[in-house]
Chains A and B, each alone.
Chain A
Amino acid sequence: MSLIENTKCECGHQNAVGTVLCESCGKPLEEQKDTAELPLEMRYDGVARRSQKSNPNVIDRVWNFFSSVKIAIYLIVLTFLTAMLGTIYPQENTFVGNFDPAVYYEETYGLTGKIYYMLGLTHTYESWWFIGLLVMIGTSLVICSLDRVLPLYRALSKQQIRKHLQFILRQKTVFKHTIEGDTGHWAEQFGAQLKRKGYRVHRDGTALLAEKNRFSRWGPYINHIGLILFLLAILARSIPGFQMDTYVSVPDGDTVQIPDTNYYVKSEKFTVEFYKDEELPDKLKGTARAKLYETKAVLYECVSGCGDPTAKPELREVTRHDIVVNDPLKYKGLKLYQFDFDLTPRLNAVHPVLVDKKTGNVYGPFDLPMRDSAMQHKLGPFTLDLYANYMEFAIGDNGEPTTLSRDPVAPAFIFSVKGPGLDPAGEPYMYFPMQKDKVKFAQDTINKGIADKIEIRVDGMDNVDFSEASTHLNVRMDRALPYVWVGAVFSMIGLLMGSYWQHRRIWLRIDGSELSLGAHTNKNWYGMRADVAGALKKVGIAVDPKSLDNGGNNA
């Protein structure tokens, strides 16, 4: 290729370097001998796609790299191939809570698991190279589109009606015919037929240009804009504060702070409902198939004393909602989803009474929560001083009482009791709220003499306060979401425009009585030929649509 190219067409139009077809008359410009007979390459209407310099600098080189569709396809292929790798083993983010990937993969999958982890495939979709690929696809989307849509727009908005004969006869759909009679009249009649088919018809004497659905040419670009918006929205999620994803576990009746927020959530009650046997098909009878999970949740905002570990935060209710699967609680972008549950009951408090065995008098009930109970309870003539408490009572190796956990599994309390008939210095009394523990640890034996004088007991289940279940909620926030949807809508509109409509054009010129007709579409040649054949038939020329095919590529 010579450095300075003559790009002036014989029709007098000055074209940009890289132009394939004259922007004005359509005459093929750069021509190799071996392709001189084939149908024309009509992509982007033959305009110069980008400035092609003989001496590109770095910016040009980068630009040209991303401007190439070939590169774009390679990027797409590379992306889906690497995405496949990420599905071989579960990704790290599928595990909730404490979990050490360095150990897990090797333990579970052996050597391959270890290699998988070492290669970083356990977080494929967050890895720098995968994100890098997405960034490159995004860049390619911007540059490819920009480099093509502007020249295409210019070319389509200043089309010449009378095209070069070579241009017409080297289209993919071509028809030649000798017209008898008035050519002007024929062209008008033919134009009228095309109009009926929805074409916009422009005439210039005996030359004609009919065009339909040009807007569909913008479909791919609108789609690309949507995809770019989508990618940007996804990137925006990594900005701190744009998204949140944590879990809270709330026992019935408890109020729990949502980590890193000023919000507290209370579960008034969690319910799980299972299908009854008569609702199930035979094979599933007797299985616990869940029908409904529901958390009656209340959301609070902390108004004062927040973040101060010594003060009790002051809460104000902001909203309440019955959370079920597929129906989260929503408040100002914050969403609480039903995630999991735990049906282990937990004892919260008991309201026991003190019985004076001598007189038969009953005092109380008094409030005895499992955690942070009041230190002293006055009951009639008796005073109970809380001396020690244990969440899961046990006797340690050294013979001393101890606790095995911090959850009220087998709670025990030691009071120092003063009152009538008791040592004025106080006598120790051991109290197990749960019946099973009373028996297991032989409460009466431990308490010895005092067991004959007083008894602390709970009267009926009304005086027992326990949580039947805990609900696990997933807390999410995603401020990028609206942009994601806008991107998706754009992308979809673009796809529909580009796929279900086709830009069709028909050029014809009559030289003497020789009719030359060429037609082009960006998709669906079958329909293009049917349009031409149909219009010809209406003006009295019967042709087999297939015979209009001039060979070449089927876009």
Chain B
Amino acid sequence: MRKSRKTVQVVILIAVLLIGGYAIGTTLFADSDKGPLREGGTPPAFELADLDGNIRQLSDYEGKPVVVNFWGTFCPPCVKEMPEFERQYQKWQDKGLVVLAINLSEDTLTVNNFVHRFELNYPILRDVNRKTERSYGLKSYPTTFFIKPDGSIAEIKVGGMTEADIDERIERLLQL
């Protein structure tokens, strides 16, 4: 009688500890990955086609510094940045820099015309139905994510940058 009572007590308390711990744990855990992306956070994964129809994933570039830039032809600062990114890409690609420019779900002709006009060589990815854009919580364009080789976000830049800005940030990223 005594013994079984003790067992019941221990079993119940352990159950409470497990269930309660789980409940409280999830709230603590949820706190950190809710809300907009922050520096130091993990960028959401994506799987998108480039202009040649090859599938590229963010995880393909693990271990390399990555610049993810969201752009559209309808956004003048984005348009201004694109050739600058091209020059920066040429400058740093030997050091392993990866530039991924994700188009904001525009149609094929628009994107093709644009890319041909500026002769861009880094991968242009095509978002579909604003899915990736949403998962990154974008509010205004352009937005650029600088991702460290370890896969965490080093910096988030909302809005256009001058070429010097880009250069400085990439340099910082490569030094990390």
Contact = CB atoms under 8 A, between A and B. Distances in A.
| Contact between A and B in the complex (any CB pair below 8 Å) | yes
A59 B74 contact: no
A51 B76 contact: no
Nearest to A373: B109
A196 interface: no
A142 B126 CA distance: 55
Contacts of A138: 16, 20
Contacts of B48: 309
A309 B22 CA distance: 36
Interface in B1-34: 2, 5-6, 8-10, 12-13, 16, 19-20, 22-24, 26-28, 30-31
Interface in B117-139: 126, 128-129, 131, 134, 137-139
Most buried by B among A63, A309, A388: A309
Contacts of B128: 309
B152 interface: no
Given A59-B10, A309-B55, A372-B108, A405 B22 contact: no
B24 A98 contact: no
A101 B109 contact: no
A310 B108 CA distance: 12
A451 B16 CA distance: 80
A132 B24 CA distance: 6
B113 A388 contact: yes
B106 interface: yes
B129 A256 contact: yes
B27 A128 contact: yes
Interface residues of A, number: 47
A403 B110 contact: yes
A127 B36 CA distance: 18
A144 to B, nearest CB: 12
B151 interface: no
Nearest to B21: A135
A463 to B, nearest CB: 21
A235 B9 contact: no
A235 B13 contact: no
Given A62-B13, A131-B24, A135-B19, A375 B105 contact: no
A19 interface: no
A309 B47 contact: yes
Contacts of B20: 132, 135-136, 138-139
A79 interface: no
A406 interface: yes
B13 A59 contact: yes
A539 interface: no
Contact of A307 (B24, B47, B72): B47
A308 to B, nearest CB: 8
A386 B23 contact: no
Given A128-B27, A238-B23, A388-B113, A309 B49 contact: yes
A532 to B, nearest CB: 38
Nearest to A58: B13
29 contacts: A51-B2, A51-B5, A59-B10, A100-B36, A101-B35, A132-B20, A135-B23, A138-B16, A139-B16, A143-B12, A238-B22, A238-B23, A257-B129, A257-B131, A259-B131, A259-B134, A308-B55, A373-B109, A388-B110, A389-B107, A390-B110, A391-B74, A392-B74, A396-B76, A397-B76, A402-B73, A402-B79, A406-B72, A406-B104
Interface of B: 2, 5-6, 8-10, 12-13, 16, 19-20, 22-24, 26-28, 30-31, 35-36, 47-49, 53, 55, 72-74, 76, 79, 104-110, 113, 126, 128-129, 131, 134, 137-139
